[in-house]
């Protein structure tokens, strides 16, 4: 009987995950291939890789102007395998597959995360319903997938693979290095706790982690140094320069003044907006993890390092910088949803009544969380900057400081589109404004004649 019950539970869980996985694929299928200008910068590198021109932005000199070399290489590989599919479409589907793939990672490593089958279903519903529709085609869903996979492998004590995945995470976005640092600290601390002392044998697991992390990093570092003359992307100076202009707010400013108050808007009370049910559920989930699920606090440590890192860099804060924080907070939202329905699942019989009562309690929370995602799915027509020329032009806030150059924001992505023949190149952000060449990509935007 127990075997039959376990089989039914597994089949039910797989059925739920398959149904949930259909949503990201459906979104990707009907997604308009009008991405934002930052996505098209990366995809222009993809275009040149596919055309055999190398890792360059249209023409020499070769400068590393994308922050996600691994995503670039993967999309380029897919474009070579599927030459009949548009590059932007491949990027969108890669993001969607990563979006749904994160839920499957939690299922495959459910023992390491101390999750039962029904808990995986509840957590997966939260993660799917809180996906970032407008950022499909960029590297953030793949980053989320690799983040969860790296930590899951670490918890299963496969340190070499965890380090290798951490290296891939770093090559997807630079802040992935913070995950490696955190896991290294946890590995050392955990070994010391078990043995009560620190000796030479205590370095074995940290060394495995470091070796795995170092292999992809070393390979990329050699190639990047020979190709670009630098191991790191050349975008950091540009973003710091943007912050210095005063036209962009810094990470701490946007975090405290904009993002924290906007998260969970689908669960805020209309009559009393100061009360946000999402925040209440997240905070309780965090407190509950301190007692019951301390493994999950690894994500809290990572977010602490992430916030501290971006705050110290003093860079202009783009909207997608909030996404890793929001992802982690939604994990704790999901864990609290699990705790809400847990007494029903464990004590109420028959099973069908327990599931029905659990849905009545949890669905309002999940639907409230999903409201922004569902609205984006139904209304999103693509980033205005990715559409063909002809839309109403917008004047950038930087007009006065850029020698009265007009920036047609709705045309930027078209000029950067991988299929465009315009020969724009990356300009070093450290150069003074007087040396900017018209029609060259500089500090993340195009300077066009007024």
Residue 202 domain-assigned? yes
- Domain extent, residue 126, equals 2-382
Task: Give the other-Cβ count within 10 Å of 150's Cβ.
Answer: 27
- Of 11-15, 213-217, 227-231, 379-383, minimum mean pLDDT range: 379-383
Count of the separate structural domains present in the chain: 2
| pLDDT for 7 | 85
Q: Do 373 and 412 fall within a single domain?
A: no
Task: Give the other-Cβ count within 10 Å of 392's Cβ.
Answer: 7
Residue 391 domain-assigned? no
Residue 389 domain-assigned? no
Q: How far apart are CA 344 and CA 346, in angstroms?
A: 6
Q: Do 119 and 226 fall within a single domain?
A: yes
Considering only residues 233 and 96, tell me which one the structure prediction assigns the higher pLDDT.
96
Instruction: Give residue-wise pLDDT tens across range 375-407.
Output: 777 776 655 444 433 333 323 333 332 332 233
Q: Do 213 and 123 fall within a single domain?
A: yes
Residue 348 domain-assigned? yes
Q: Do 435 and 361 fall within a single domain?
A: no
Q: Do 411 and 310 fall within a single domain?
A: no
Q: Do 145 and 195 fall within a single domain?
A: yes
* Cα–Cα nearest to 65, from 239, 323, 320: 239
Q: Do 151 and 260 fall within a single domain?
A: yes
| Tokens standing for residue 59 | 């023409």
**Would you say 243 and 321 are in contact if contact means Cβ atoms under 8 Å apart?**
no
Q: Do 285 and 434 fall within a single domain?
A: no
Instruction: Give residue-wise pLDDT tens across range 336-351.
Output: 888 888 877 777 777 7
Torsion angles phi and psi, residue 446, rounded to 5: -105, 130
């Amino acid at each position: 009987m127990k075997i039959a019950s376990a089989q039914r539970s597994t089949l039910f869980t797989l059925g739920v995950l398959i149904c949930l996985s259909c949503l990201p694929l459906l979104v990707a299928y009907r997604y308009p291939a009008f991405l934002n200008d930052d996505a098209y910068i990366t995809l222009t590198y993809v275009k040149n890789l596919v055309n055999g021109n190398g890792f360059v932005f249209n023409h020499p000199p070769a400068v590393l102007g994308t922050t996600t070399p691994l995503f670039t290489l993967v999309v380029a590989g897919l474009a070579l395998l599927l030459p009949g599919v548009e590059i932007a479409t491949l990027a969108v589907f890669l993001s969607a597959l990563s979006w749904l793939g994160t839920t499957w990672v939690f299922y495959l490593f459910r023992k390491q995360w101390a999750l039962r089958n029904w808990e995986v279903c509840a957590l997966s519903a939260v993660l799917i319903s809180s996906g970032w529709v407008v950022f499909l085609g960029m590297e953030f869903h793949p980053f989320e997938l690799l983040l969860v996979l790296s930590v899951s492998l670490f918890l299963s004590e496969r340190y070499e693979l965890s380090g290798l995945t951490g290296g891939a995470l770093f090559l997807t976005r630079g802040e992935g290095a913070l995950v490696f640092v955190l896991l290294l600290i946890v590995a050392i601390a955990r070994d010391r706790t078990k043995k009560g002392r620190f000796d030479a044998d205590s370095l074995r697991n940290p060394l495995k982690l470091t070796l795995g992390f170092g292999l992809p990093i070393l390979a990329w570092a050699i190639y990047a140094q020979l190709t670009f003359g630098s191991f790191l992307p050349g975008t950091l100076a540009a973003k710091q320069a943007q912050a210095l202009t005063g036209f962009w707010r810094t990470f701490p400013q946007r975090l405290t003044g904009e993002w924290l108050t906007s998260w969970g808007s689908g669960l805020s009370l209309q009559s009393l907006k100061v009360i946000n049910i999402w925040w209440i559920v997240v905070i309780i989930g965090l407190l509950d993890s301190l007692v019951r699920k301390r493994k999950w606090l690894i994500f809290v440590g990572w977010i602490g390092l992430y916030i501290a890192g971006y705050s110290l860099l003093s860079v202009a804060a783009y909207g997608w910088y909030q996404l890793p924080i929001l992802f982690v907070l939604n994990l704790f939202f999901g864990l609290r949803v699990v705790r809400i329905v847990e007494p029903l699942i464990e004590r109420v019989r028959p099973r069908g009544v327990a599931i029905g009562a659990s849905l009545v309690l949890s669905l309002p929370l999940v639907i409230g969380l999903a409201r922004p995602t569902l609205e984006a799915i139904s209304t999103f027509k693509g980033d205005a900057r990715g559409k063909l020329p002809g839309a109403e032009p917008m004047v950038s806030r930087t007009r006065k400081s850029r020698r009265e150059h007009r920036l047609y924001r709705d045309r930027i992505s078209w000029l950067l589109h991988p299929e465009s023949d315009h020969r724009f190149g990356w300009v070093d952000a450290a150069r003074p404004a007087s040396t900017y060449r018209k029609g060259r990509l500089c500090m993340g935007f195009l300077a066009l004649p007024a």
